[in-house]
């Protein structure tokens, strides 16, 4: 997982269990190289690298670019559930040739979008109620700005745009809390 102790090179089981978890943070700038360990039938090869261009097997995760590569395809990830979906489904194919990891990722992606957009819509309705009684112009302006960001989030079809707009509205909300306009 790191250049000095790459998978299979140090004589230990660094590809398994807690060693994987402990070494993830050390692998951000590591350039891809092959895993030399002998993997069992149920084992999954997970590579965390600064570049996944030469990865042909397993799941390659490029944390800096928020990308994961499985079965020759790139997937954006915004949270650990995206990675988990790719790991659980893996490269197994059904009778129609669909990759299970891709199917599970797409299902999780659709559910995430649906629920995040619903939460965004509910927060917009909450802001409407607050604006009916708010008297501070500073608070009113910030709430309106937050509502606009949430409206953009609930109308987008891009997961990365949705997450970006939610992050922007979260930042505005922190300022609202700091200014005494809202609570956490």
Pure H helices in the chain: 17-23, 80-89, 100-133, 137-155, 159-178
* Rounded Cα distance, 82 and 150, in Å: 23
* Rounded Cα distance, 102 and 110, in Å: 12
pLDDT tens, position by position, 139-157: 999 999 999 999 999 998 8
Whole-number pLDDT of residue 2: 39
* Rounded Cα distance, 114 and 154, in Å: 9
User: Is the distance from CB of 35 to CB of 54 less than 8 angstroms?
Assistant: no
**Domain regions of the chain by residue span:** 1-65, 116-178
User: Is the distance from CB of 51 to CB of 65 less than 8 angstroms?
Assistant: no
Band of the pLDDT at 182, cuts 50, 70, 90?
very high
Whole-number pLDDT of residue 48: 74
Band of the pLDDT at 25, cuts 50, 70, 90?
very low
DSSP three-state, residue 63: coil
Task: Enter the tokens of residue 151.
Answer: 């409206």
Q: What percent of the chain has pLDDT over 90?
A: 35
Whole-number pLDDT of residue 1: 37
* Rounded Cα distance, 158 and 141, in Å: 27
């Amino acid at each position: 997982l790191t250049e000095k102790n790459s998978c299979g090179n140090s004589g230990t089981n660094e590809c398994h269990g807690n060693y994987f978890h402990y070494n993830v943070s050390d692998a951000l700038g590591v350039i891809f190289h092959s895993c030399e360990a002998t993997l069992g039938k149920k084992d999954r090869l997970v590579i965390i690298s600064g570049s996944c261009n030469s990865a042909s097997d397993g799941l390659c995760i490029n944390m800096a670019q928020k990308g994961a590569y499985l079965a020759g395809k790139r997937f954006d990830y915004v949270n650990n559930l995206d990675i988990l979906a790719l790991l659980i489904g893996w490269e197994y194919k059904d009778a129609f040739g669909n990759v299970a990891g891709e199917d599970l990722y797409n299902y999780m992606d659709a559910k995430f979008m649906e629920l995040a957009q619903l939460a965004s819509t509910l927060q917009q309705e909450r802001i409407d109620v607050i604006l009916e009684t708010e008297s501070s112009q500073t608070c009113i302006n910030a709430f309106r700005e937050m509502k606009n960001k949430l409206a953009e989030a609930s109308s987008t079809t891009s997961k990365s745009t949705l997450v970006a707009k939610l992050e922007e509205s979260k930042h505005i909300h922190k300022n609202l809390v700091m200014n005494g306009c809202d609570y956490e």
